[in-house]
Each structure stands twice: as C-alpha cells, then as structure tokens.
Amino acid sequence: MSLKRILPVVLTLLLLSSCNSDIQIASGGESDYRIVVPAKATRSELKAASYLQRYVEKVNRARIPIVRDREESIGKEISIGQTNRITSEVISRIPDLEEDGFSVQSSEKNIFFLGGTQKGVMYGVSSFLERFLSVQILSSEVEVWKAKKRINIPDDLNWTVIPPIHFRSTHYRDTWDPFFAGWHKLHHLANGGHPDWGYWCHTFNQLVPPDEYYESHPEYYAEINGNRVATQLCLTNQDVLKIAVQNLRKAIDEKPDVHYWSVSQNDNVSYCQCENCQKIDKAEGSPIGSLLSFVNAVADSFPDRVISTLAYQYSRKPPINLVPRENVNIMLCTIELDRSESISTSVGAASFREDLEGWGRITDDILLWDYVIQFENLVSPFPNFHVLKPNLQYFVENSADKHFQQGNREVGGEFAELRGYLISKLLWNPSADVDSLMDDFLEGYYGKADRYIRKYIDVMHDELKNSGLGLGIFGHPFQAKESYLSPAKIKQYIKLFDKAEQAVRKSPEYLERVQIARLPLQYARIEIATRMGTAEGGMYIRDDKGQWIVDPQYPKLADTLVTRALRQGVTRFKEWHTTPDEYLKSLKKSWDVDMHEHLAMDMEVQLFNQASSKYAGGNAGLLTDGLRGPLLTFAYNWLGFEGNEFEAILDFGKKIEFSSLSTSWLQDLRSWAFLPETISYFGSDDKHNWTIIEEVSPGIDPKTSGVFIHDFSLELSKIHAFRYLKIKSKSYITCPEWHPGAGGKAWIFVDEIIVK
C-alpha cells in the first residue's frame, strides 16, 4: 500500500481522537459564536456556512448567525474560507490543500475552516459535522442526527485531510442528488454527468459522424475482413484526424471552460484492421498502438485541454513503446474481472494487474473505471461488498487517483443507497472502516430491522467466499443456486426478511425500505424457478389431475416484486431494457404456454446446424419442452446459432393434421441478436419430398432497438396433414453494415415450436 497516498487521512483521524473537547460552540440552544464568510464569498464558502448553521440548529437548536468579514470581529467566530480573520499562525500549520483538501484549525477560541481551490472548505464542514455532531447523510432522502445539549470541540484542533483520490464518482442515481454529492465529495452533476468533462466516453461517432461521412467516405471507418464498416474509425487516415480535430474544436468553443474531453473508441470490438493500423498495432503489441497514436495527435492540437481515451477490452493492454502525452488521460476499465475476490490477489485478474501496473509506469493520469453491479440483472443479489475497499486501495496504490465506480444509472438496484453511501465514503478515504460504516448506515436506514439485514448480507457474502465460485457483472442468479442462492440459503433469507419486516411493522418508512431491500431476493427466486422449469423447485408443478401448472406462489411473488419496484421508481431490470411492467408481461407470456395440448410437445428435434453450447448447452429438446424462454436472458431456454442458419425437422411418427404453426425468436441488437428475415415452414410424408406450407416475415424494421420476442406464427386457411415438419430460417449471417458489430458473426435465438 502506498503510505504517501492513504496515510494523511488516517493520521488526521487518529489525531482527533487524542484531543480534549473544551471549546463550546453551543449549549442548550444558545451560542456565543457567529459564522464569518468573506465579503465576496464563493459559492462553496456560502454552502459550507449554510451547512454548518443548519445542522448546529438541528442538533442543538442554537442558530448561529452568518456575517461577512467586513464586520468587526467579536472574538468568538467560526471562519469559513478565505476571510480576513485568518492569522499567520493558522496559515503556518496548513500544507498545500490541492483541489479538494481541507483544514480545520482552532486558535484562541476561534475556529477556521480552509479548503483547496475547489470545494475543500465545504468538504471540511461536512466532515466536521459528521465527526463532532454525528450528522449522517445516508441517502438523498434520509439524514440521521441526534440532539446534543452541548457541542464541544478540542481547543487545540489541527485537522488536515488531503484525499488520495482526486476524481470521485459512483454511478448510482441517488448519489446524483446535488446535496448528497456535495456532502459526500462526489464529482457529479444532477443528471449523472461530470463537471469539467465535455465528452465522457465512446465518442468516435460524435467526432466523425457516420451519418455524415460513411456513404461518401467509407475509408474513414474500420476495415474488417476487407470491408469498410462504420463500427470504429480508421485511425491512420489523416483526413479522419483532421475532421476529428475540427469537430472537437467546435465542441470546445461551445464550452470553453471545460477541461476534459474524451476521444475514445465506440462500445464494440470491431476495430480497424487495415494494413496501416495493423502495422502500428503489431509494433505496439495490441490495438492500443493505432488508438494512442491517434489520441496523442489530437492532444497535440489542444495543449490546454486534457484528452481522455479508453483502455477498454481490446485496447486495455498498454503499448510497448508509445507513451501518452502529458495532457492525455487513460480511462482504464475492469469490465472482464471476477468480483468474488480482490483484484490484487485474484488469479483471474493477473493480466489486468499487469496492464494497470504497465500503464502506471508510463503515465500518472489514470482514471479507473470499475464496476460494482450485475448489469444483466440490476435487481439481483450481488455480494461484492467485501471487495470494494481492497480494490480501491489497490487502484490507488498503483497510480490511479481518479475513479468512476459504475453502479446503476437506473433507479434502484440491490442496496442502491447502501452501495452509494459506502462507495462515496471509500472514494474519500480508502482506509475507512467498512464494517462500521455499514453498521451505521443499516441502523439509521432500517431502524430495528438493521441486525436482520446485516445478517442477510453477512451470510450471503460468507457463502460466496466459502463456495469458491466466481461473481461476474454479466451473471445470473441461477449461477449461484449451489452457493449463496441455494434452496437452503433462500429459506434462511426469507426468514431473516420476515423478522426484519416484523421488527419495523409499526414504522411505515422503515418497513418500506426493508421491503425494497427484499426485492433482489424475490427477483432471484423467480429467475431461479424459471430456469428450473419442471424440475424440483421449479416454476411448474403438477396439479391433482397430473397436468403441469405454474406454482401459485410465483405469480403472487411476481406481482409483489413488480408492484414494489414500481413504487420505488425502478426503471429497468437490465442495463439497457426491461421495465418492471415488461418483465411481468414476459413472465405471463411464458406461463400462458399450454404444456400438453399442442402436437409438437416433447417431440424430438433434428438440427441440421449445431446450436451454440454457450446457451442451454445447445440442447435441441428445449424447443418442444413447453417452456418459454424469458425476455431477460438468453441463457435459459433459448437455442442460439452464431453465424449460422436454423434448420430443423420434427417427426410426429405418423401423418397428423394441423392448422396452426409458431416459433418464437428474440432480438437484442446490442448483443448482436437479430430476428430472421423470414421463417419457412415445410411439410413432408417421406422426409425427402418437401412441400412449402408458407413463408413468414416479421414485418418489423430490423433496426428496431431494445429487447423483444417475436412469434413467427401461422394460422392456416386450411388444414394440412404431414408426418414431418421442417422449419428453416433466412437470417443475417454477419452483422449488417449499419450495426456496430458490422462484419462480425450475427446471432439468432429460437425457442418453442408450437403445432396445433
């Protein structure tokens, strides 16, 4: 651990605990003090003064007046910022506070709050209020404080903090609240953006828009398999550099006070493989070669700005010879890593450690982009609290002094408020005691239910660690059914939440928060049961007539889940799609399948092309098992084909009559999954001579975004009779040129075949 970076926070906190409290700021609702701000106070200084006044009054009922330093001194004053009250003695104690550091000093019964060049004085006041008045801002809507008869501080107070992390951001919606962000020292705007950043990431299309240039100049874009596609830029084309610089200059002219500008790859892996780009990439050991060469060239045109670029997926590895310019920021991402153990010790993170340390050797301007949520299932248990602190400490130790902790940009998510609170505290002080912070939060946020919530968290984390299994940000609850989401553990969690709700049953606000905290468990139960299907513990059970029906507990549970999620304001269950209402609709659609009355039920399916083993093991039997694949994930009950067509034959054993045919297909363009252009149905009696029954097209624009299921259904005008049924797709084999993955292998996903 780098003592130089982390020790200042620790030392100052220890110093406080050794002091005697003998300056009395307020007692019994009265105070002899007043708050003094500069005659031309900054916004930060005025906010700091108002924070102090507000919470002293809440805690003690004493209202301390705020005055300008043009007024004559009365001898007992609290000086906020650069007032004319600051003495040479006070100045002599204070080191360079940089941008966000602060110092709180007492001298001759006066108190001085000083800060760095940005919001340090405001951060000093909020830290002071937490330390001496026990004020806790737990979320944008929940604050906790206790009344005090007297407010005392040490008469020899000398408290200075310079944070080791200079850019602090966590992507939880609640933390965007301006007051919460200010109090917890976060660099957030109210819309989740970041002050002093013009462009944030994935900017190639902004700099050289394909809509404007691709048709007339395809050479400006990536060459893949000999074709030019608008996925990324061709970074060795000098016209591309010229246009990017021109467009960036226009953007900077519109926001001349903004310092950071991203020049970074689009969010796909289809980078340029032309001869010139490959030559540089080969020399530098990875595609970072052509990317960093381009970014350095852009940075040379803007010496008074910082040009940021991503080291992400294919560009993560540092170059062999190139060095970023002094005004280039490297935004290094951890998207691939396991979250079950610390990055500093995880065997699977060895290559990332090598990359981080490699970047640290050639630049001291690294913004670490870390991930703290399960993107595929935003409302899902994700026991990673134990790695938050060691990961941050490891990053700081290795020259990363800027941090973006990506949580959930949507409303909600598992323990969203707790995560936002803990991460904010750790970003300010990576040495903070996480257990104490968590206990304080749980007590203030959940009241008497706190011990049951803590037990739930601890049991889940212990079970994950003991299992030795991984934890991925693109995982699914079903993957944990043998560890922290086993049937036995789920029963234990249900009992803990029952006790938690009982403990706060007479406190509506606490009860609502406990019920919100229960949503991930309810979601996991539904998702695991859906995956289990007709197996023990699955979604379906037999009724007293031996027919498969949906277990009645799950529709009730789903209604409760969605009702509470909507009440909380949850906007998505998955990173880019699936609202609570859409989720419920998808579940109901899967339950509506009649599992015993259609003719293809349990029929053997012969595939002409092998399905991918990545999804459901490539088991063709799921096409006729009566269960519908869900909207939220490909991994259950969907058969996937990559760069290949679907062609299958069903043998009914004898000639049968039918008048209705249907197959289900899924589209998710972000995952390179397309609906077929057409589905053709054929019939035969000998498996050699085939009669076309009908061809069906989706009637949907192939560029339609979002994730959705479409049924290629036929209600035939007459009854047909055949022994064999063949179904054949006509699909995209590679992603089309308008798609970000242009040239890459396209996917199709098929589910239930229904014949009636």
| Global pTM exceeds 0.85 | yes
Q: Can you give the pLDDT at residue 19? A: 43
Closest CA to 645 of 739, 746, 741, 738: 746
Torsion of CA 503, 509, 511, 516, to 10 degrees: -140
Q: Could you give all domains of the chain from N- to C-terminal order, each with its CATH number?
A: 3-163 (3.30.379.10), 195-333 (no CATH), 454-573 (no CATH), 594-755 (2.60.120.1190)
Q: Is the pLDDT confidence value at 96 over 50?
A: yes
Q: 129: closest CA among 89, 179, 168, 69?
A: 179
Of 354, 357, 752, the C-alpha closest to 591 is 752
Q: What are phi and psi of 505, to 5 degrees?
A: -60, -25
Higher-pLDDT residue of 7, 162: 162
Find the mean pLDDT for residues 51-68. 97
In whole numbers, what is the pLDDT of the chain averaged over residues? Answer: 91
- The model's pLDDT over 296-347, given as tens digits with 9 standing for 90+, comes to 999 999 999 999 999 999 999 999 999 999 999 999 999 999 999 999 999 9
The predicted model gives 539-543 an average pLDDT of: 87
The backbone region for 28, taken as left when phi is positive above 0, alpha when psi lies in -120 to 50, beta otherwise, is left
Residue 379: per-residue pLDDT: 93
Please answer whether residues 533 and 625 qualify as being in contact, where contact means their C-beta atoms are separated by less than 8 angstroms.
Answer: yes
pLDDT tens profile 562-604: 999 999 999 999 888 889 999 998 888 778 755 556 788 888 8
Once rounded to an integer, what is the mean pLDDT over residues 726-744?
A: 88
Residue 83, Cβ neighbours under 10 Å: how many? Answer: 22
Question: By CB neighbour count within 10 A (0-12 exposed, 13-18 middle, 19+ buried), where does 171 fall?
Answer: buried
Q: Please tell me the least confidently modeled range out of 52-56, 211-215, 547-551.
A: 547-551
Q: Any idea which of 43-57, 221-235, 616-630 has the lowest mean pLDDT?
A: 616-630
Please give the C-alpha separations between residue 16 and each of 76, 79, 160, 329, 447, in angstroms, as whole numbers.
Answer: 21, 20, 10, 36, 29
- Interval 696-710 mean pLDDT: 88
Report residue 502: phi and psi, to 5°.
-65, -35
CA atoms within 13 A on the CB side of 646: 33
Give 617's DSSP letter. G
